[in-house]
Amino acid sequence: MVAVLTIAKSLGIKRIWVKGDSKLIMDQVKGICGVKHESMVKYHAKAIQLAKEFEQIVLEHIPRAQNEEGDHLSRLVTTYYDELP
C-alpha cells in the first residue's frame, strides 16, 4: 500500500482507487481495525499519512483470484523501486 500511494503521489495523482486482496490491510487503512504486529505499525502510519494527501481515495477489497494484475504490478514495484519505504 505504501509503495502504491508513494508512486501515485509522485505522479501527481489526486484521486485514487486502490484495489487489494488483503481485507485486513484495507480495513486497517480505513481505520476499521488496528494493527497488532509491532513491525507493521510504521507502515500503517505511513499509509495513513499518504492516504490523507489525496483529494479522494477509495479502498476496495477484491478476492485474490481477481487480483492477478495487482500481483504483477506489486512485483514490478518491488523489482524497480528498491528504495521505497
Q: How far apart are CA 50 and CA 63, in angstroms?
A: 24
Cell numbers placing 1 = 500500500
- 16-65 pLDDT, tens digit per residue, is 999 888 899 999 999 999 999 998 999 999 999 999 999 999 999 988 88
| Cα distance between residue 58 and residue 18, in whole Å | 6
Place of cell 486502490: 18
Residue 85 has pLDDT above 60, yes or no: no
The pTM (predicted TM-score) of the whole model is: 0.77
The verdict on domain 2-80 having CATH code 3.40.50.360 is no
pLDDT at position 83? 58
Q: How do the residues of the chain divide into helix, strand and coil, expressed in percent and rounded to 5?
A: 55, 15, 30
